[in-house]
A and B are shown apart, each in its own frame.
Chain A
Amino acid sequence: MEEIVYVNTEGKRIDGRKLDELRPIKIIPSVLSRAEGSAYIEWGQNKALVGVFGPREAIPQHIQDPTKAIVNYVYRMATFSVPDRKSPKPGRREIEISKVSGEALAKAIFVERFPNTTIDIYVHIFDSNAGTRCAALTAASVALADAGIPMRDLVSACAVGRAAGHIMLDPCKEEEDASDAVDMPLAIMPRTKEVVLLQMDGIISKEEWKKAFELGLKGCQQVYGIQKKALKRKYEEIAEEEAKAIEHVDKQLKEISENPELLRGGNK
């Protein structure tokens, strides 16, 4: 069998990235009209859509918590999102991801302000290539901000891993399947650097773990920058459009004042 070269002599990986480079990320907030907040994310090949509903009254009543809101995070993968068809039945993996991601977001939301309610977050993965839980969590926190739900901070996530002895940021599928692979999804609240999600597969030494964790924090800060830009862009675009419209009117007025004949129009 031919051996895969995970990092070549130039320090580039299989898909041409450097060791500390993320895949290209694109986030668009407010894409669904029925949801109170929503976001679409493209993280390399990963594509996910998030809808946020609530806070709304929790039903049935016995699940209500009179001290805080329940964060109901639902992570699902489409049947066509993986190479072989995935059963549409939520499996063990999906239920686990839903639980840990929901708990991560509950740390950031001011849940105590909304007693007896649920905040529903529905995440659907349409295309996947490693790191979907991080992509989904990143998009979900943008969607929550888009819904106007009060939060202490956004949640930014990214994975770190190891393949063929190299610690690398945001591993892709091939790197995750390496013989000595380690995969560590990490989510933080970027302002305080508080860790809200940390999982790990594989065996790693203490020194390597420290290195990987530092690299992960750096990656999360990069992701935060992208989230911030995505949230602000919507309003800045409208401002720019309006500024242009005003400029256009001013220009016309100026032309008319300089050249009053224009008003008479074609009566020459």
Chain B
Amino acid sequence: MEGKLVIPGELVTEKRMRLGPHVFVENGKIYSDTVGLAKIDRGIARVVPLQGKYMPKAGDVVIGIVVSEEYSYYIIDINSFYYSFVPKEEIRIPLRKGTIVSAKIVKVDEINAATLSDIRVFRGGEVLTISPVKVPRVIGKNASMLNLLKRGTGCSLMVGMNGRIWAKGGNIELLKKALAKIERESHLSNLTLRIQKMLEKEKQHTRR
């Protein structure tokens, strides 16, 4: 395991430090606010969460599903607290209920409602879901894990920060297996290596 496993209210460090995500200060000491792995690097104390919901953040690219079409706008579910609205003026292609889209969050207001832009439509494929806090592990350092998954399964992939993954073509069953493994073992180190081994093993199986 990389870092120390902490639970809510457990001490991360007693030193003064810059604050990363999922920590808070009380009486000059830094504590974790969730179950996760505490890490301190380059003077920043942070906790990598192991569970949690998606909190929309400006700049995130998310995968949404069109919930319904109204007279002048579409309602899009981005797996957050509220549905988002996109005016029809912004999209030239007509969308229908159930269409898969990717969008960029441009603004999040004080009640965590997101404004979307840059809508792109996906044709075909399917949407897989994972826990939103594990998205960074699916992408990996310099997208190493993502490239590995693309090569290993032959799928076209698009990962949204909200825990939805759009996949088309290739070996989707194998992809699902790999994602389940990533979700289960996200708190352990050398994950990319282990996924690589798993994918190679599966390849040999299919060749036989």
Contacts and interface: CB of A to CB of B under 8 A. Distances in A.
B155 interface: no
Interface string A105-129: 0001010001111000000000000
A148 B81 contact: no
A262 B176 CA distance: 35
A154 to B, nearest CB: 6
Nearest to A249: B197
A147 B33 CA distance: 12
B73 interface: no
Given A57-B81, A116-B111, A231-B35, A147 B51 contact: yes
A145 interface: yes
Given A150-B34, A231-B35, A238 B185 contact: yes
Interface stretch (B1-9, B58-66, B135-143, B146-154): B1-9
A145 B34 contact: yes
Contact of A115 (B10, B35, B110, B187): B110
Contacts of B110: 115
Contact of B111 (A115, A151, A154): A115
Nearest to B55: A113
A146, A236, A238: most-surrounded residue (chain B CB, <10 A): A238
A4 B194 CA distance: 62
Interface string A227-260: 1100110011011001000000000000000000
B127 interface: no
A56 B1 CA distance: 32
A239 B1 contact: yes
Interface in A153-197: 153-154, 189-192
The 10 closest A-B pairs by CB, nearest first: A148-B52, A153-B9, A148-B51, A151-B8, A150-B33, A115-B111, A191-B9, A231-B7, A116-B111, A145-B8
Given A55-B81, A148-B133, A150-B22, 6 more contacts: A37-B51, A56-B81, A146-B35, A150-B33, A151-B8, A232-B7
Interface of A: 36-37, 55-57, 66, 108, 110, 114-117, 145-154, 189-192, 227-228, 231-232, 235-236, 238-239, 242
Interface of B: 1, 5, 7-10, 22, 24, 26, 31, 33-35, 49-53, 81-82, 110-112, 133, 184-185, 187-188, 194
